Structure 1
């Protein structure tokens, strides 16, 4: 397979793959219901202004609650924030909360309910289950499971992070070397994720997203130019390259987490489990990629290098498009 054939296949891959991805691709709706005084609740609803929910969604409040006064709506970044004041008769346990219109969307919704004298709980609504009954949960398991799933989904649905990890697998040889490199990437993005979420670090999101795209282009070029016996920088010191770029990807994860929202009383737990979810997602990507490469090597070994080149061209073209879109759009 010559280079022009590779480029042709890469262009086809570009046409078939999603061409618009952001580091904060995961943007579920968010509902926070907090008891301010006995029977008096405040409710905050956040949804993307570009989504169907943000334009026409409606909150399903518990049956024993009534809205007091008028709702307040405001724009914050690309989100619509709706604030309500509720008066509820008795406990909200056993009551239903949800979102009308969620079943027609392609996103999820996080719900955090914080009574004064009862356990706080975090629920996850989906298009298949747009409403849920409030019950007394185990707070730790509830928050942990919710944010771990969100972390897994973000690495699998955040295509720029996914392609970066995939490119690392294509570039390197040997399971142990790949494991060390991915671990370095994990440590790095964990540092900036925690630092940014806690307000210790800060970078503008737009240049960060552009450089994340460039990090993928860099790895794609390294894959194409790799030659046996002539190790390139990324092959000699892959864990250093992964660590440095991982710091930037951590800012991207932090942006996603900021969009999702964190439960005020369980920030450390939510951070930890979200990061564990990201790590689980990365391991899934690595395992699937290694299995595919092994199967190809066993079936047609001579196809392995051309397949890597074709994939690298596709990854590079997509990442270049992202870089241009994020820098100049």
Structure 2
């Protein structure tokens, strides 16, 4: 058990370095055709891009003329290249276009490609497959690049270990965040995002502290209950990120379902990856002299991150900084 926990957090540290260096978030471009070849633009850059003071704006085909939020493409229509100059490598943009004829187009652009090419075949398309693939990828990216959610999932593994009870614990977490995600994006439940982020940070601090406590605490006896309660809050956090990207009203159930499935696939992929790394290193190294110091140090690192986020997000709430 100690060996599993140690290797879990060695693996987690490696994951954290990647996510800290690559998480940029998704931007959102929504174009609605209000009259023939004239579109209303809604452009929402990712918060991380704004914080870095990067200038990322959609660039339209040369025959299109933009004035404020209005894009006029004349007789040639919205055909050609939509480009996002200066889009960071590890960022993406969700593009949604709605034409007067009822056609709807949904596509994600990565920082590697930075553009999409619209053809006449795309006009009038109402592809559910586009919605499915786009929002599933966004869900996978959100869990893999969302370090706080990732740390909480890993903390549950730390608390429970790779045993049967982990199945019920992760299932409880999944059910809880799926419930509040659906209630939030459909506006049945509306809450401020900052308090949600504070509680998420506190949940990370809690699982780190509980992993160091050898007593039979409530969290050790009923980890599924801890996972469910905090899963409700994490679902509100997922919903906040999803609202920034936007959901197509014409395919709301499908986009919500596929985003949530993407989160689950990413979550299970992380757990599977940690298990495989643990099994591999366990075969390679049989000596356990440094296991306890490494385990303690790893748990303290996770706890410190949770404490730091708790303080910084609380300061943001009360406008200290």
Instruction: Give the aligned partner of residue 57 of structure 1.
Output: 56
Instruction: Give the aligned partner of residue 143 of structure 1.
Output: 131
Q: TM-score, normalised by structure 2?
A: 0.83
Instruction: Give the aligned partner of residue 299 of structure 2.
Output: 312
Tell me the SS of whatever aligns to 2:304: helix
Which structure 2 residues correspond to residues 151-166 of structure 1 after superposition, within 5 A? 151-166=139-154
Quote the offset at 1:276 in angstroms.
Answer: 0.5
For the residues of structure 2 that align with 1:85 and 1:61, how far apart are their CA atoms?
Answer: 8
TM-aligned CA distance change 1:140 to 1:161, over 3 Å: same
TM-aligned CA distance change 1:183 to 1:306, over 3 Å: farther
TM-aligned CA distance change 1:26 to 1:188, over 3 Å: farther
Q: Which runs of 5+ in 1 are unaligned?
A: 1-5, 72-82
TM-aligned CA distance change 1:231 to 1:66, over 3 Å: same
Q: TM-score, normalised by structure 1?
A: 0.81
CA contact (8 A) 1:65 1:89 kept: no
Query: Could you tell me which of 98, 106, 117 is aligned with 1:122?
Result: 106
Query: Could you tell me which of 69, 84, 100 is aligned with 2:70?
Result: 84
CA contact (8 A) 2:177 2:235 kept: yes
TM-aligned CA distance change 1:241 to 1:125, over 3 Å: same
Provide Cα deviations, 1:190-220, integer angstroms capped at 9, x if missing partner: 1111101110112221111111111111100
For the residues of structure 2 that align with 1:198 and 1:268, how far apart are their CA atoms?
Answer: 10
Which structure 2 residues correspond to residues 185-204 of structure 1 after superposition, within 5 A? 185-204=173-192
For the residues of structure 1 that align with 2:18 and 2:212, how far apart are their CA atoms?
Answer: 22
Quote the offset at 1:101 in angstroms.
Answer: 1.9
TM-aligned CA distance change 1:274 to 1:49, over 3 Å: closer
Tell me the SS of whatever aligns to 2:72: strand
Further displaced range: 138-147 or 247-256: 138-147
What RMSD over aligned residues (CA atoms) do the two structures have, in Å?
2.8
Instruction: Give the aligned partner of residue 34 of structure 1.
Output: 32
Instruction: Give the aligned partner of residue 267 of structure 1.
Output: 252
Quote the offset at 1:116 in angstroms.
Answer: 1.9
For the residues of structure 1 that align with 2:231 and 2:47, how far apart are their CA atoms?
Answer: 30
Instruction: Give the aligned partner of residue 181 of structure 1.
Output: 169
CA contact (8 A) 1:27 1:259 kept: no
Tell me the SS of whatever aligns to 2:190: coil
For the residues of structure 1 that align with 2:161 and 2:137, how far apart are their CA atoms?
Answer: 30
